Amino acid sequence: MIDLTGCGEALRRDPHPVYARLRERGPVHRVRLAMPGGVWETWLVVGYDEARAALADPRLAKDSAKTGYVPLDEQLIGKYLLVADPPQHTRLRGLVARAFTMRRVERLRPRIQRITDDLLDAMLPHGRADLIDSLAYPLPITVICELLGVPETDRAEFRKISTEVVAPTDADSERAATVRFAEYLTGLIEDKRCAGPTGDLLGDLIRTTTEDGDRLSMDELRGMAYLLLIAGHETTVNLIGNAVLALLTHPAQLAALRADSTLLEGAVEETLRWEGPVENATYRYAAEPLRIAGSSIGRGDDVLIGLAAAQRDGGRFADPDRFDIRRDTRGHLAFGHGIHYCLGAPLARLEAGIAIGTLLDRAPGLTLDAEPGEWLPGMLIRGVRSLPVRW
Could you give the CA distance from residue 187 to residue 193 in angstroms, rounded to a whole number? 10
Question: In the chain, pLDDT over 70 holds for what percent of residues?
Answer: 97
| CA-to-CA separations, 159 to 76, 142, 163, 167, 277, in angstroms, rounded | 19, 11, 6, 12, 17
Could you give the CA distance from residue 208 to residue 203 in angstroms, rounded to a whole number? 9
Query: Using alpha carbons only, what angle is made at residue 279 by residues 382 and 298, rounded to the nearest 5 degrees?
Result: 150
Give residue-wise pLDDT tens across range 296-354: 999 999 999 999 999 999 999 999 999 999 999 999 999 999 999 998 899 999 999 99
Q: Element (H or E) spanning 297, and its range?
A: strand 295-297
Q: Would you list the DSSP string of 26-89?
A: -SEEEEEEEETTEEEEEEEE-SHHHHHHHHT-TTEES-GGGGT---HHHHHT---GGG--TTHH
Q: Element (H or E) spanning 129, and its range?
A: strand 128-130
pLDDT at 136: 97
Identify the band that residue 16 occupies on the pLDDT scale cut at 50, 70 and 90. very high
pLDDT at 226: 87
pLDDT at 212: 62
What domains lie within the chain, and their CATH numbers? 2-390 (1.10.630.10)
Give residue-wise pLDDT tens across range 149-172: 888 888 877 777 877 787 777 778
pLDDT at 99: 67
CB of 289 closer than 8 Å to CB of 298: yes
Q: Which residues of 237-273 are buried (b: 16+ CB within 10 A; e: fewer)?
A: bbbbbbbbbbbbebeebbebbeeeeebbebbbbbbbb
Of 43-57, 93-107, 164-178, 370-384, where does the model show the most confidence? 43-57
Position 211 pLDDT exceeds 60 = no
- Other beta carbons within 10 angstroms of residue 106's beta carbon come to 12
- Helix segments in 234-344, DSSP class H: 234-248, 251-259, 264-275, 307-310
Position 199 pLDDT exceeds 90 = no
pLDDT at 213: 66
pTM for this prediction = 0.92
Which letter does DSSP use for residue 389 in this model? E
- Least-confidence region, from 31-45, 79-93, 208-222, 294-308: 208-222
More confident residue, 226 or 375: 375
More confident residue, 355 or 65: 355
- Burial of residue 321 (CB within 10 Å: 0-12, 13-18, 19+) is exposed
How many angstroms from the chain centroid is the CA of residue 90? 21
